[in-house]
A and B are shown apart, each in its own frame.
Chain A
């Protein structure tokens, strides 16, 4: 029943937000998101003890991989709601237009992302992914500048284009299922029917879904909209877009991997490796030249989506690393965007060149950027380092030297590029920036709360979370 409640809570809050004042709407959203986090923890706990959960007469279902994504969306959703309370009024004071529907749209966006990992029917999963775009379009355009509108336009048009391609892919998967003897059109049903699916139809379906949802996940070369949308949206929305929305789209692609492995003859591993390496490499190079620190974190998302794809393509030994990477990226990236939002509030510009010596102006924002930069670029001992290390180790252990070597190279280039930018922002000498404002208390609270898992999960992984990651890795594997 908790799965149905997870969808009900944001829907109810979204409806309430339409009629109450903005301040009440903000409080309701935080309370609703906290309830969702609690329910997601409950669901994850039950999934761990029972293997999987079903709800609403089989319409909802959740397995360990779904539970992992669900938990991440819920947690980042709560943190971003908290951050929004202090962030929005400040941006309005800086010249933005007040839009009363923010929290209503926010809850709809959260609802669509929560629905992706727990809907059973693949066709409904497609609708949920398509809705994430439509619900977040006006959140991306929220600041109402020409740049924000341009970003929102590219975001909507390119990801909707991807969604239509993925729609045809899902129709092909359904057709493959029917030709292979039928069964329930769910991820589990598809996996069970995998040996009987005709390879050409399955291959067509997979490629269309890969290109379609890959566009939404920000895989290169379909990533061009991503840095625009993820840099122009308000910071809490960026945290959701970059931290978990890309993950939910990637989740739908990853779900096909075990199906393809079981079916055989499609060469799934190579597709995952090539798309992953191209994304990681392109992002690493773009990170060197980036001028805007929010765009920097956005390109880093492209890099991390690529790393997850590579980890999946390396095969079963790397899958624990892949699940760990999904977890580490969502937590670290949302924290990075909160840090970026804090810097925007303090200094009022997004250009790396005009933010120098932040440590002397706002120690909190500077510490957050430093911590965010270190974690997301993969410095030890944080979680991203541990997961990347696990993936590389698995790649070398299975003698896939070319893929693992290229991955290591791109990760190192990205690390150096990001640390150079972060170093300039935090410790740079030439003319320290002027602070235009201090940080609101809720923003600091969100920063501190979301920093805890970022700091802890690299050195200490609670046993429940460890078991969830291992079970999610097993759900990604080829063996039934």
Chain B
């Protein structure tokens, strides 16, 4: 591969990384359920873009497959499954009540991002491979922000989106450090993500039927009294 193309791919990947992090912040801060889903789809497309860029850069056909399956499951199948299982939640309930307000959330999210960079620094300093420094830190930050979304959101669908955003973060890191990891990538994206979405979607629907709402953060019948 000629040098200009390699550096072009590196830049492209860095841009995907920046936008990926932006999408993770947007999922934390967006109140409207539908735009939350759209940000998630955008984030998944950026993950696919990064996987493609690294696949070309490292000549790994595995990553091409990961990118294709990611686009199919996360950008097409996941929103479709959500519409099938929890249509009401997606379209009717627009406001999401959060445990913390949005400015506070964004501050915490920024702190988590810095933390991710600090944790990853000793590892990236040791293993100087292309793509790793960007993808590992952005991926870990994505994981943290997803976990934070699960923690502060009360609505079932946004907690699910937080979980899937975490998975995106884990994959964003994985495609750079383990571009040839056998099966786990393909199998997970192709199988685990849709099944998780389906199980959580169906569970949400039953909670709606039995409890009358999907603010799972407010369910507190089970605790030590």
Interface residues of A (CB under 8 A from B): 121, 123-124, 126-127, 130-131, 134, 137-138, 141, 144-147, 149-154, 156-157, 160-161, 164-165, 167-168, 170-172, 174-175, 178-179, 185, 198, 200-201, 204, 227-228, 231-232, 286, 289-291
Contact = CB atoms under 8 A, between A and B. Distances in A.
A123 B127 contact: no
A114 B90 CA distance: 37
Nearest to B221: A147
A164 B170 contact: yes
Given A149-B210, A156-B203, A161-B163, 7 more contacts: A121-B182, A134-B192, A149-B211, A153-B207, A165-B166, A171-B174, A175-B127
A225 B169 CA distance: 24
Contact of B170 (A141, A168, A227): A168
8 contacts: A124-B183, A127-B191, A156-B203, A164-B143, A164-B170, A167-B188, A171-B170, A227-B222
A150 B222 contact: yes
Q: Please name the 6 residue pairs, one residue from A and one from B, whose CB atoms are nearest each other, closest first.
A: A123-B184, A175-B177, A150-B219, A168-B170, A171-B174, A228-B222
Interface stretch (B11-19, B62-70, B77-85, B194-202): B194-202
B3 interface: no
Nearest to B160: A157
A228 B211 CA distance: 17
A200 B181 contact: no
Nearest to B191: A127
A168 B182 CA distance: 14
Interface string B156-171: 1001100100110110
A157 B182 contact: no
A220 to B, nearest CB: 13
Contact of A174 (B126, B181, B195): B181
A164 B173 contact: no
B191 to A, nearest CB: 8
A200 B126 contact: yes
Contacts of B221: 146-147, 150
B216 interface: yes
Contacts of A137: 199, 203
Nearest to B225: A291
B108 interface: no
A127 B178 contact: no
Contacts of A286: 224
A134 B163 CA distance: 14
A90 to B, nearest CB: 21
B224 A289 contact: yes
B196 A134 contact: yes
Given A121-B182, A123-B183, A156-B199, A168 B174 contact: yes
Nearest to B211: A146
A357 to B, nearest CB: 24
Nearest to A171: B174
Contacts of A179: 127
Interface in B118-157: 119, 122-123, 126-127, 139-140, 143, 146-147, 150, 156
B210 to A, nearest CB: 5
B206 interface: yes
A123 B140 CA distance: 19
Contact of B123 (A127, A161, A204): A204
A138 B199 contact: yes
**B119, B126, B184, B191: most-surrounded residue (chain A CB, <10 A):** B184
Contacts of B146: 164
Contacts of A291: 224-225
Given A149-B207, A161-B163, A164-B167, A198 B182 contact: no
Given A137-B199, A164-B166, A153 B181 contact: no
A167 B167 CA distance: 9
Contacts of A172: 177
A127 B150 contact: no
B199 A164 contact: no
Given A127-B192, A160-B163, A185-B182, A171 B173 contact: yes
B110 interface: no
B111 interface: no
Contacts of B167: 164, 167
B187 interface: yes
A126 B126 contact: no
A198 B127 contact: yes
A153 B216 contact: yes
A345 B96 CA distance: 41
